[in-house]
Amino acid sequence: MHDEEDDNDLTAGLDLGFDGAEDLLRVWRQGLRPDPNLTVSEWADQHRWLSSRGAAEPGRYRTARAPYLREIMDALSPGHPAQRITFMKAAQVGATEAGNNWIGFVIHHAPGPMLAVLPSLELAKRTSRGRLDPLIADSPALRERVNPARSRDAGNSMLSKEFPGGILVLTGANSATGLRSMPARYVFLDEVDAYPASADEEGDPVTLAEARTTTFSHRRKVFMVSTPTIRGLSRIEREFEASDQRRYFVPCPHCGAMQWLQFDRLRWAKGKPETAAYHCEGCERPIAEHHKTEMLARGEWRATSVSTDPKAIGFHLSALYSPLGWKSWSDVAREWQAAQGSDETLRAARNTLLGETWVESGDAPEWQRLADRREAWKPGTVPMAGLFLTAGADVQKDRIEVDIWAWGRGLESWLVDHIVIPGGPDDPAAWEKLAALLGRSWQHANGAFMTVARLGIDTGYEAAAVYAWSRKVGFEQVAPLKGLEGFNRATPVSGPTFVDATIGGKRLRRGARLWSVATATFKAETYRFLRIERLSDEDRALGVLDAPGTIHLPSWADTEWLKQLVAEQLVTIRNKRGYAHQEWQKMRERNEALDCRVYARAAAWILGADRWDEATWRRLEAQAGVETRLPTAVATESAPTDPAQPKAGTLTTPRRKRRAYTPNFMRD
């Protein structure tokens, strides 16, 4: 480094009497000095300022506020040997700001071409406006290197930021054009689990983005960040499991035992999340929230596995590490408690609080356990709480299998009958027997008789014959079904659509009414319902009601039928290009019981059982002669009001009385 005397020697004899000479000399001196050898975290502490537009705690950035980010950021520094850095994390742990610090460091101290990929182009634009613009505007070291996007310079726009020695390009994972736009030394892949499976049908966005770094070989850096989603489909989990799987170990304030924080050691009194405290795995003593700051400061990252690639490292962090003032342990407990009762909210909690993937309900219960929980009731009779019947019919080459299911409140269900009709779709007698089932009745425990409200029948085998029979008996009571694979559907049942049916070479003018069913959704639901524990006899004696969705199986259901009900498994399949998807696969040859259950469930959905209001359920109970299971709401008396003086927020013109909805099968 040059001192002042050296500068004087170098400038001796120069004419410095012109305007601007001092500025020129100052810039020249700066050019003689090498840049300080900073890491990303050191750069952030010296140069980063947080804007009130995008930060809850504006002001100078302090790595000490979230000390677990220091090693992650420093791994992004040019002097660190890692080339692929994976960060699988919960929400609200500071990951986005760490990525922004890396961007600022690159612009200021290690210029080069950089690509930042967001899940979509729209999100890339919002990130540019909401995070990058404040990052540059509020940090003097960056402001003097990047022109504002509103300037006439075409090199600086919302999605492109030029700076001396490099350029930052933002794009969306849904844009193949953006992903192949340029070579890149640095690639920042944010929220990769929200990326589409393919960018404009040209391939995996992560693969396309990483291909941009090929020309930089050993000098490249790829930073992959995301909250995980579904096991088997999660990109970030796949990358983390291929890394050295680093966990942040912190010391117990009581015994000093180093440990990484795990959710099952966060405990609180039932119904009182405000009492949440972490229990040390060494001494089992509860650790209060106020100890967290010191624990984080004294923590360290430790690898828990061996990476398949020595230049790939991975970090995992849950919301339990969130610093004081961000998300407390009681907040975590409260959100976890509130998520109970719904798969969707539990999935979100597992992803955003624990930073872990969600496992879809695809594990089949053991058929022996189902056999042990069978209940005794007379074959062909409807138990007391059953309020309507649906049937599922599976057409085979030499027979038609039919299961009759009774349904109650909360989609509680009972297997009422299992019928095998000999003869395949080319046998008119088989169709006649199936039609006869539509007029048959089953006796309710109260003495009333019920018919099948709707029969769902699969069209996967001999569709034309199924369409012809359905048209003959009428679509009021029969729903032809077509199974569709995949979970990502807005509704589990859609339709009906009119399809042309050809039988005997004759083209029909008006097609059959075909319903499309996402069978994967109903199979997952069935397995989830089967895992609901059966009530004990003591609880039943006390009047405790079964949980919504409980499936009741009769003692006369044989071993073969039970094995068919759990004959499939949800598995993750990868194609040759590495794309993953989940699908149901048979674990044994016969699965008619599961198929019939899905068709009967789809029939209940078509009837509207998922959308009925309280009044409809009460009319069903009255029709079946069943005592209402929910307490009747007690009307509260209110003070009389003067009709001439309408209250604020009320309509002065009486609204037309809405007619109560009654399903077709309940109408006389």
Q: What is the mean pLDDT of each run of 10 residues along the chain (668 residues)?
A: 46 56 58 65 90 72 93 93 94 88 92 91 88 87 80 69 90 81 89 81 81 83 91 83 93 95 92 93 93 95 90 95 92 91 80 84 70 85 90 91 93 93 89 92 88 91 86 87 73 78 57 83 88 78 83 90 86 62 77 93 91 87 68 37 38 40 54
Tell me how far CA of residue 540 lies from CA of 341, 536, 537, 546, 598, in angstroms. 21, 6, 5, 9, 28
Beta-carbon contacts of 120 under 8 Å, excluding residues fewer than 6 positions away, are: 172, 173, 174
Q: Which of 42, 49, 189, 182 is nearest to 112 (CA)?
A: 182
Residue 593 contacts residue 559 (beta carbons within 8 Å)? no
Task: Please give the Cα distance from 485 to 191 (Å, whole number).
Answer: 26
Q: Which of 103, 184, 97 is nearest to 141 (CA)?
A: 103
Residue 597: the pLDDT is 94
What pairing do the DSSP bridges indicate for beta strands 221-226 and 84-89?
parallel
Alpha-carbon gap, residue 274 to 400, rounded angstroms: 57
* Among 254, 411, 273, CA closest to 334: 273
**Residue 217 per-residue DSSP state:** G
Contacts 24+ apart (CB under 8 A), 364-367: 364/527, 364/566, 364/567, 364/568, 364/569, 364/587, 365/527, 365/530, 365/531, 365/566, 366/566, 367/559, 367/562, 367/563, 367/565, 367/566
CA atoms within 13 A on the CB side of 150: 3
Say whether 437 sits in a helix, a strand or coil. Answer: helix
pLDDT in tens, 136-166: 888 888 888 887 765 555 567 888 888 988 9
Task: Answer whether 185's CB lies under 8 Å from 222's CB.
Answer: no
- Measured between alpha carbons, how far is 76 from 102 in angstroms, rounded to an integer? 7
At residue 313, the pLDDT reads 95
Q: What is the pLDDT of residues 536-567, one digit of tens each?
A: 777 777 878 888 889 999 999 888 899 899 88
Question: Do 116 and 172 contact (CB within 8 A), yes or no?
Answer: no
Which residue, among 269, 251, 268, has the nearest Cα to 260 in the 3D structure? Answer: 251
From CA 94, how far away is CA 101, in angstroms rounded?
11
- If we measure between CA atoms, which residue out of 84, 10, 418, 33 comes closest to residue 239? 84
pLDDT at 656: 42
* Angstrom distance (rounded) from CA 145 to CA 503: 74
Q: Do 662 and 388 form a contact (C-beta atoms < 8 A)? A: no
Contact indicator for 385, 629 with CB cutoff of 8 Å = yes
Using the CB atoms, write b or e for 617-639: b if 16+ within 10 Å: bbbbbeebebeeeeeeeeeeeee
Paired residues of 400 in beta bridges? 395, 421
User: Could you please report the per-residue DSSP string of 43-74?
Assistant: HHHHH-EE-TTT-SS-EE--GGGSTTHHHHHH
Entry field: residues in the chain: 668
